[in-house]
Amino acid sequence: MHDDHHDDPHAPLAHDHPQTEFEKRVDAVQALLIEKGIITPDDVRRAVEEMDSRSPALGAKVIARAWVDPAFKGRLLANAKRAIAELGIEFTQEAALFAVENTEKVHHVVVCTLCSCYPRGLLGYPPDWYKSLNYRSRVVVDPRGVLKEFGLELDANVEVRVLDSTADMRYLVIPPRPAGTERMDEEELASLVTRDSMIGVARARTPALQ
């Protein structure tokens, strides 16, 4: 592969950091698919641009609706992909999507122990710590200790469930609605929902901390 890809229609997208072995493999497969005419460079660019447009704001919109609409929350817990489609959000990943609810008795935290499987269609790109070996290995064996490092301390009577995201399934955590938000509308509520709270390593913001 040439150093200067500007005139190469099969060139992968530019990287602003040293490539990992995984990224090199992705680029090689991408170049081969383009060479064989299965996809075009424009197909790749459009897919990247569409993914780049995704952010935790989409997930926050879903959570805010679940907080104000119990019937919607029930549908979200029963069939997450179908429920988010009601809000005009298309989850294009082939993996199944499951919503789980954190309560006073049960707390869910999500990890991908093998790599970085993540609901990118709702939350955008995963944070670096989510992909790190440190998080992936430790949260399984010491979830309370890891959560404490994130600033989240749970009572001893709260059951902690670690959910392992895989190539076949993704998870969205519904954090508890903060107290004192009864008069807030959905847009205001969505501003309280953080990416980390939808992974389960933090609570949603309270109005006083906005």
Contact 189, 181 (CB under 8 A): yes
CATH number (3.60.15.10, 3.40.50.12780, 3.90.330.10, 3.40.50.300) of 56-209 reads 3.90.330.10
CA–CA distances in Å: residue 13 to residues 5, 44, 54, 61, 92? 9, 9, 19, 31, 22
What mean pLDDT value characterizes the chain?
85
Q: Residue 115 catalytic? A: yes
- pLDDT at position 40 is 80
Q: Is residue 113 scored above 60 in pLDDT?
A: yes
Select which of 53, 55, 116, 132 is catalytic: 116
Is residue 137 flagged as an active site residue? no
The whole-model pTM stands at 0.76
- Residue 30's pLDDT band, with cuts at 50, 70 and 90, is confident
| H-helix or E-strand spanning residue 162 | strand 159-164
Count CB neighbours of 22 within 10 A. Answer: 10
- Residue, of 198 and 28, whose pLDDT is higher: 198
Secondary structure E strands in 65-130? 96-101, 106-111
With a pLDDT cut of 90, the percent of the chain lying above it is 67
Tokens linked to 199: 């992974």
Q: Which of 53, 55, 112, 191 is catalytic?
A: 112
Where in the chain are the domains? Answer: 21-52, 56-209
Confidence of residue 60 (pLDDT cuts 50, 70, 90): very high
Integer distance in angstroms from the first to the last C-alpha of the chain? 48
> CA distances (Å), 55 to each of 32, 50, 116, 195, in order?
30, 11, 16, 9
197 has a pLDDT exceeding 70: yes
- Cα separation of 26 and 176, whole Å? 38
Q: pLDDT (tens digit, 9 = 90+) per residue, 7-24?
A: 333 334 344 456 666 567
Q: Count CB neighbours of 41 within 10 A.
A: 16
Judged against a pLDDT cut of 60, whether residue 84 lies above it is answered with: yes
Set 55, 115, 132, 137: catalytic member: 115
Question: For the chain, what is the total number of helices (H) and then of strands (E)?
Answer: 11, 4
Compute the average pLDDT of residues 90-115. Answer: 94
